Amino acid sequence: EMNGYEAESEAAVLLNGLGIPEELRSKTMKELEAGEKVRVLLAQALFGNPDVLLLDEPTNHLDLKSIAWLEDFLYRFPNTVIVVSHDRHFLNQVCTHIADIDFGRIQVYVGNYDFWYQASQLNLKQKQDENRKVTDKANELKEFIQRFSSNASKAKQATSRKKLLEKLTIEDMPVSSRKYPYVVFKPERACGDIILEIKDLSKSIEGVPVLNNLTLTVGKGDKIAFVGGNSLAKTTLFQILAGELEPDSGSFRWGITITPAYFPKDHGDYFASDMNLIEWLGQFSPPTEGESFSRGFLGRMLFSGEEALKKTSVLSGGEKVRCMLSRMMLSGANALILDEPTNHLDLESITALNNGLISFSEVVLFASHDHEFVSTVANRIVEITPAGIIDRVMGFDEYLENGEVARLRDEMCHGHRDLNL
């Protein structure tokens, strides 16, 4: 019934596609890292051609290559898939219908994520326009009635307009459950000509080399997405640039006009205290500002009223990310370093951050497994491979389709474990 003769080969295909190498397959689940466990559980859900697949954030813990494989698998999957995801590119590639849960109801749109977004925004605008027309008409009628109700020659017309006014109905506009934080990075000054120079940077972690003689020059206006299968290499580079880690050899130099700000992937230590949010944000606010400033800022980041008194130790993952973004915004930095900033965020917060970085006029260095996020923010791609870097001034989609880059990647990764973006 489960196609037992081919079960092992089917399992191998699924595990390969989701980035579980052969050397891990003899291990027990308790021996695997958290991200590897999620991949195995996802493979288990996909196994056996089920009639219905229920997937809750399936792209979490997956690299870009594994996400692309999963997109293709689900696109070709013949049965029903019900998925919750904050990955916009994934939803566009996989979904034929979008169930929009908002305004206290569910409305189904036939189409992918982009179609849903455009259609739902158009639908909302039409309702707002209709209500505005009705309101304008009602005001016009009220004005006429008020002016001429006591005028004998106009009494009939006033009575007629009263009847028209009674027939007008303004549709109630329920409040949307979607909330967008205010994410705008305002640098205190523009970057000068020299941004960042990295020369022969090397670093090993627990005896394993993760950076090997990395040399790179960052220019004005660069928004660089760092990609590559070794997430530790990207995190290590960012920690060195942020001054949190010393390189084994090599050097780097920020320009004298540069003020960097760092968003670390692991930011749990920032929330280890028993402070409330007002006290926490006060650490990073201008010294001349008081509690009202912190409350106002927190309100724009969706912590309004009593939520501003919430203890940092009980915050959810998404709330912590919004706090860390607040810290970055208050820094006035002109060079932003972000390591997987979309982790734990909902679609509204991802969209707000995405737009904030697009409109930011200075320098961004970042890593992300969100395809849409990378492709809309980055104007330069740096891929860290076991044999060095591939550095191209181009968008992410163009980079993925570039044949010369693919050939170079094959050469640089020859003899190494398969590279995952």
Q: What does the pLDDT look like over 104-157, one tens digit per residue?
A: 889 999 999 999 999 988 988 888 888 888 888 888 888 888 888 777 777 778
Q: Does residue 158 register a pLDDT over 60?
A: yes
Least confident of 19-28, 198-207, 287-296: 19-28
Amino acid at 170: I
Structure tokens at 147: 């002016």
Burial class of residue 16, CB neighbours in 10 A (0-12, 13-18, 19+) = middle
Neighbouring residues of 6: CB distance < 8 A, sequence distance ≥ 6: none
Q: How far apart are CA 367 and CA 369, in angstroms?
A: 7
The confidence score (pLDDT) of residue 419 equals: 44
CB atoms within 10 A of CB 419: 19
Rg (CA), the chain: 27
CB 322 within 8 A of CB 247: no
Residue 328 predicted with pLDDT over 80: yes
Report pLDDT for 3.
60
Mean predicted lDDT score pLDDT of the chain: 91
**420 CB contacts (<8 Å, ≥6 apart)?**
19, 63, 64, 65, 66, 228, 229
Q: What confidence tens digit (pLDDT) does each residue in 249-277 have?
A: 999 999 999 999 999 999 989 998 889 99
**CATH no. for 4-104:** 3.40.50.300
| Percent of the residues in the chain that have a pLDDT greater than 70, as a whole number | 96
Q: Return the CATH fold of 196-274+311-412.
A: Rossmann fold (3.40.50)
DSSP bridge partners of 339: 367
